[in-house]
């Protein structure tokens, strides 16, 4: 755990009792935000989306986040889910974003631009926090693996409700020699124009490999593919329970907002 910047009078204590937080989900095609009720896990506003800049550099992304905060006339804390390994506010990888993110303290940059206290975590970790608190993982013990499938494949692992951050299991090399994300992301499904059945068979290879490594009690499928679950669920044959995410598109935003409090308390 590390300390949140105390800005604009937002002391740690005040942030702990706040119920409304601006959640932002940075994706490969769009950057989306909404004000979130962190006790109910609900959006209090419509989602506001701005396309991800063509050259998604740290300054350009921080600028879009600042525009989203201005749209909501937001002055409070901001939680951000970002598609990379994040440690102490610094991006350590950049699989689907500009390489200049590596080593950048994106948390400090967004905080400077928005003049708000900011907490940034990995996007799949954010979605996982939301699903575990309000969605398909609620009250689930044991090992829960959440996989978000979109432009990339994001993963987050929970053990008895405790999160293991930055797992990055979308970059595993499958037994067929291919990187999981290249083989079975939603971007690959679209690029190769795969039917849901053909994509489902690929995804099943990934799931069964993950199961052989981690033996989860439950796998939750999140990201854009979760709302099409009935189009491919018959292709999946894991031994453990498998369910689609319940928060669907909103998990990233809700989880990003939750991350602000979670980082203060180390639990959701």
Specify the stretch interacting with ligand BGC by CB under 6 A; choose among 1-9, 10-18, 118-126, 256-264: 118-126
**147: Cβ contacts below 8 Å, ≥ 6 apart:** 124, 153, 154, 155, 169, 170, 207, 210, 219, 220, 221, 222, 223
Asked if 121 interacts with ligand BGC (CB under 6 A), we say no
Asked if 107 interacts with ligand BGC (CB under 6 A), we say no
CB of 178 to ligand BGC, least distance (A): 14
Residue given tokens 């550099």 in the structure block: 57
Comparing CB distances to ligand BGC, the nearer of 15 and 254 is 254
Cα distances from 225 to residues 62, 107, 108, 113, 175, in angstroms, run 27, 29, 32, 33, 23
CB of 157 to ligand BGC, least distance (A): 12
Asked if 96 interacts with ligand BGC (CB under 6 A), we say yes
Q: Which tokens belong to 52? A: 């991800």
Q: Which tokens belong to 166? A: 């930055």
Asked if 148 interacts with ligand BGC (CB under 6 A), we say yes
Q: Between vectors from CA 155 to CA 192 and to CA 238, what angle results, nearest 5°?
A: 75
Comparing CB distances to ligand BGC, the nearer of 112 and 178 is 178
**Cα distance between residue 96 and residue 80, in whole Å:** 16
Q: Between vectors from CA 78 to CA 12 and to CA 92, what angle results, nearest 5°?
A: 100
- Is residue 110 a contact partner of residue 78, using CB atoms and an 8 Å limit? yes
Q: Which of 77, 135, 170, 200 binds ligand BGC (CB under 6 A)?
A: 170
**Cα distance between residue 225 and residue 218, in whole Å:** 18
Asked if 122 interacts with ligand BGC (CB under 6 A), we say yes
Residues that bind ligand BGC (rule: CB under 6 A) add up to a total of: 16
Range list of H helices, the chain: 12-17, 58-71, 106-114, 123-134, 180-184, 186-191, 196-214, 251-265
CB of 222 to ligand BGC, least distance (A): 10
**36: Cβ contacts below 8 Å, ≥ 6 apart:** 20, 21, 22, 23, 42, 43, 44, 253, 254, 256, 257, 258
CB of 120 to ligand BGC, least distance (A): 12
CB of 175 to ligand BGC, least distance (A): 20
Asked if 123 interacts with ligand BGC (CB under 6 A), we say yes
Q: Which of 33, 154, 216, 244 binds ligand BGC (CB under 6 A)?
A: 154
Asked if 83 interacts with ligand BGC (CB under 6 A), we say yes
Specify the stretch interacting with ligand BGC by CB under 6 A; choose among 98-106, 121-129, 130-138, 232-240: 121-129
Asked if 252 interacts with ligand BGC (CB under 6 A), we say no
Specify the stretch interacting with ligand BGC by CB under 6 A; choose among 9-17, 67-75, 90-98, 224-232: 90-98
Asked if 84 interacts with ligand BGC (CB under 6 A), we say yes
Q: Which tokens belong to 3? A: 């300390």
Residues that bind ligand BGC (CB under 6 A): 83-85, 93, 95-96, 122-124, 148, 150, 152, 154, 168, 170, 181
């Amino acid at each position: 755990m590390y300390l949140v910047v105390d800005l604009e009078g937002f002391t740690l204590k005040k942030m702990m009792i706040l119920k409304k937080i601006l959640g932002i989900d940075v994706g490969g095609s769009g950057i989306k935000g909404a004000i979130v009720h962190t006790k109910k896990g609900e959006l209090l506003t419509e989602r506001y989306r701005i396309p991800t800049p063509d050259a998604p550099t740290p300054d350009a992304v921080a600028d879009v986040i600042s525009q989203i905060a201005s749209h909501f006339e937001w002055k409070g804390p901001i939680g951000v889910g970002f598609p990379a390994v994040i440690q102490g506010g610094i991006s350590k990888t950049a699989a689907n974003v500009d390489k200049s993110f590596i080593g950048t303290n994106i948390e400090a940059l967004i905080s400077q631009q928005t003049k708000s206290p900011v907490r940034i975590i990995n996007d799949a970790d954010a979605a996982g926090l939301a699903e575990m608190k309000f969605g398909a993982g609620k009250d689930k013990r044991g090992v829960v693996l959440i996989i978000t499938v979109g432009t990339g494949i994001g993963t987050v692992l929970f053990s008895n409700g405790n999160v293991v951050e930055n797992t990055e299991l979308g970059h595993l090399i499958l037994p067929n020699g291919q990187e999981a994300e290249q083989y079975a992301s939603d971007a690959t499904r679209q690029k190769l124009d795969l039917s849901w059945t053909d994509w489902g068979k690929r995804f099943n290879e990934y799931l069964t490999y993950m199961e052989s490594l981690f033996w989860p009690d439950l796998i939750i499928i999140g990201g854009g593919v979760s709302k099409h679950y009935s189009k491919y669920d018959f292709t999946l044959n894991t031994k453990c329970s498998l369910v689609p995410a319940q928060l669907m598109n909103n998990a990233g935003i809700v989880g990003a907002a939750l991350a602000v409090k979670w980082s203060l308390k180390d639990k959701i």
